Each structure stands twice: as C-alpha cells, then as structure tokens.
Chain A
Amino acid sequence: MKVKHALGALPFIGMLGGVAFVNRVEPYVLGMPFVLFWIVMWVVLTSLIMLAVNKLDQSDGKGEKL
C-alpha cells in the first residue's frame, strides 16, 4: 500500500469511524454542534489530503501541477 493510498483512506476513517465517538452537541465549535463540526472539519481535511496526494503524484510525474 502506497502512502497516497493510506492518505486516501484517512477521510473515510476520520469521517465515518470518528462520528461514533463525537456524536454530541457540545462543545459548540464555530457555532456548530460538535458532531456537525467534526464532519465539516473532515470535509476541509479531505481537500487538504487530496492536495497532498496530488503533490505526491506530481513527484511521480503523474499528478497535476496545482
């Protein structure tokens, strides 16, 4: 398993696996219930992770210059 595949699995683990442990309203973060904030945080992290995957591929000559 390459590093980029492990990175690709991270959003699945964080978003789906994590929700079971954070299913509560408080503390509010950025005005949102904690469980909603958790999902939103992982949406943003997904974007950053895919940027990293692109960069890794770019070094292999396969990715897009961003």
Chain B
Amino acid sequence: MWGTWSGESAAFFAFAALMLGGAGVMLSLKRIVHMVLAMAAVFLGLAGMFVLLEAEFVALVQVLIYAGAVSILMVFGIMMTGRKALEQAPPRRLHEAASGGVALLLFAVLFYAIRSTELPEPGGRPAAADNTLAIGQQLYTAHVIAFELISVLLTVAFIGAIVIARKEA
C-alpha cells in the first residue's frame, strides 16, 4: 500500500513531517506574524513534494510565488491592518470545536474514499528529459488561449487591488 521503503518514501515522509509540523504550529501560535512564517515552511515542504513528483518547474514557481511573494504580501497585510485587538480577542471555544469537527468529518470521508478506491498501480510517467521545456511547449501550443486569458486575469486583478487599496479611494 505505502510502497517499499525507498529514497522517495523517506523524502516523502520528511517533507510530510515538515508540512504537518508547520501547519500544526500555525494553528497553535498566537502571534499572526509567527503564523505566516510557519505557513512559509508548509509551502516549502509542498515545493519539495513537487520535486519528488518530478515537477521541477511547478516546485520553483511554488517557492517563488508562495514562499516568496504571498508570504511577503501577508506580512505587509499584517502591517497595514492592526493586530493588537485581534491578539487580545477572547477565544470562541464552541465555534472552534465545531470547525474542528467539520474538518475532521471531511477528512474521515476523504480518507475512506482514498482507501476504498482502486488506484492505478504505481508505474508512473517516465520523466521528461527537460520538464521546463516540455511545459513551455505545451503551454504555447495546446493551452495558449488559457495562458493569455490568465495573463489578462492577473492584470485585471492587480489593477483592481491597487484601486481598492488606494488611500483616497
């Protein structure tokens, strides 16, 4: 089920421990800046898993966008919005317990579904000689319309973000 004990599974469990540790620390910390830093560790572990899955380009994009840009943006967001009132707010025990129950229930359903599904044998796709080259060729031939649309979406979103967050809005 879990495969033989190979280099891949050893690295997988190391990255899994990093991600689950980071996520658990994120949920238990009180200071928001520390929570963002713990989340950066989770995103780095995710990039490591992409490398294990022979998706080197996606892994590099993950490090650049998530561990870099998104984390920095979150820190700036914390600076721009106050956090004093937040860290002194009284806890909502019932609300948190209910949220935890919902999340646990969803995990139980997903775990049961994964365990009871006939998954294909772990043969795996033979890795492309150059992952980035193969992705680039696919992106500019088969997926070129989606690629152009996503650039329009990014431009619109960033202009909209500037307009919304401007001081004299």
A interacts with B: no
B residues near A, CB below 8 A?
none
